[in-house]
Structure 1
């Protein structure tokens, strides 16, 4: 069994979504040969949702780490809510962290859980350094590498952030 967690940018451009999804499909295909892939995601918009869809499409099992009790209500926008709910329902395991409010500390705690549970980390990341806020994609990549976790960076040609 291979357990792969995801971190990635939330603000992918609309044109980037199919590029990233295709790259994720290709990458995950390497790990589904034994039929025992588990993907771990927080289901944040952008990369996390694309990864979770790709895991299920590849026949893998999905584990969802919800950073806080209010995460769905406070952080999932109306555009992402139907997909979030569908993926949450499809999850084989759901871990809701014991934090009341979403925010930097909740995201950092969720990222630590991702890293502790995973054999590998997939980072949908443009390679830019941390923004200094903590809990972001670059921070998670650095934390994973410091823990000795292999990191696969996915940033296909033509991918861009909207922010």
Structure 2
């Protein structure tokens, strides 16, 4: 009868702190490995051999006759070990390992290290993390690996490097990939029907068959594509409109805009933007620039929004909709940003556009 194999992936801080923490991590990891060995399991360890916790895990595993397989995140990985003693120790441990998995990244970067951590989680039955329980200080930190393990339902043992306590997250079991959570996707749709048709919106009811055979029903509000425009004058003076929001029952600051009449045409976004500007604030733009295209409330609404910025404004009004009661307000950018902090004052898309424009302007100034 073949021996059961459990693959254990490890990750942790490069700086474990004091000697007491070092002994805590080593003792608890040794205990975990022995428990699996006493159950008759063959343990295989996955590690990226980074400084600190990774190498401590590997040394401990080798002492207990555990097979170690190393995951190399990038081509020039050994170059990150800048001290001669660290590089020598890396090569020594590497030579003692059973197998080496070379990942495709050429550059050594946070993205490469994150991918390596995710690869380890994907191929492991159980993860062990030597971690202080705080968010990662940068991409690919141990906190990111914990989040990823949780997202794929990979059980992990948390060796808390600050409190010196052990927590089991998700329960110990061999991986069962088919039981991963899968959200409903358009690919799973088997039928759809319109259950409400209005002038501006309609509601589609979708029936989906999930990979496990379950039937799921979802109602999605479908809205036409729309454009919203942030008008910016000289010295970062912005113009917002105030309209009565019938749905919320309040007056709110928002942006000129409306639905696209011909979304399939390439110039329709900019043409519609000019029309909405002239109707709602009385100005046309000498120049329009894209700020962002995004989906609004994508969980239950299908609605694509194009955000533009209008510059070089010139008076050129068109007659507006008789059912629209619009008040035009002029603010400095700082005044408008301050209004986004007032409860229920700005609609969220106007607030988003203001902050996106501010961030874009600041970044461009840094580049000049």
Q: 2 CA distance for matches of 1:130 and 1:73?
A: 23
Residue 21 of structure 1 deviates from its aligned partner by 1.4
Equivalent position of 1:120 in the other structure = 126
Secondary structure at the aligned position of 2:139 is classed as: coil
Secondary structure at the aligned position of 2:84 is classed as: coil
In structure 2, relative to structure 1, the CA distance for the partners of 1:137 and 1:76 (3 Å cut) is farther
Equivalent position of 2:30 in the other structure = 25
Which stretch of structure 1 is more off in the superposition, 134-143 or 17-26? 17-26
2:48 counterpart (42, 53, 76): 42
Residue 157 of structure 1 deviates from its aligned partner by 6.6
Unaligned ranges ≥5, structure 1: none
Secondary structure at the aligned position of 1:128 is classed as: coil
More helix, by proportion: 1
Residue 17 of structure 1 deviates from its aligned partner by 2.2
Equivalent position of 1:144 in the other structure = 149
In structure 2, relative to structure 1, the CA distance for the partners of 1:13 and 1:3 (3 Å cut) is same
After TM superposition, the structure 1 = structure 2 runs for residues 60-99 of structure 1, keeping only pairs within 5 Å, are 60-75=66-81, 77-99=83-105
Q: 2 CA distance for matches of 1:21 and 1:50?
A: 7
| 8 Å Cα contact 2:132/2:161 also seen in 1 | no
Secondary structure at the aligned position of 2:120 is classed as: helix
| 8 Å Cα contact 1:4/1:119 also seen in 2 | yes
Q: 1 CA distance for matches of 2:72 and 2:123?
A: 14
Deviations 1:88-107, CA, capped at 9 Å, x for gaps: 11111101212222111110
Secondary structure at the aligned position of 1:83 is classed as: helix
After TM superposition, the structure 1 = structure 2 runs for residues 92-107 of structure 1, keeping only pairs within 5 Å, are 92-107=98-113
2:139 counterpart (128, 134, 142): 134
Number of residue pairs aligned between Structure 1 and Structure 2? 158
| 8 Å Cα contact 1:105/1:135 also seen in 2 | yes
Secondary structure at the aligned position of 1:44 is classed as: coil
Which stretch of structure 1 is more off in the superposition, 35-44 or 73-82? 73-82
Q: Which runs of 4+ in 1 moved over 6 A?
A: none
Which stretch of structure 1 is more off in the superposition, 97-106 or 70-79? 70-79
More strand, by proportion: 2
Which one scores higher on RCO, CA 8 angstroms, separation ≥ 6? Answer: 1
Is 1:3 aligned to 2:7, yes or no? yes
In structure 2, relative to structure 1, the CA distance for the partners of 1:157 and 1:115 (3 Å cut) is closer
Is 1:154 aligned to 2:159, yes or no? yes
Secondary structure at the aligned position of 2:74 is classed as: coil
1:13 counterpart (17, 38, 41): 17
Rg larger in 1 or in 2?
A: 2
Secondary structure at the aligned position of 1:97 is classed as: strand
Report the RMSD for the aligned CA atoms in angstroms. Answer: 1.8
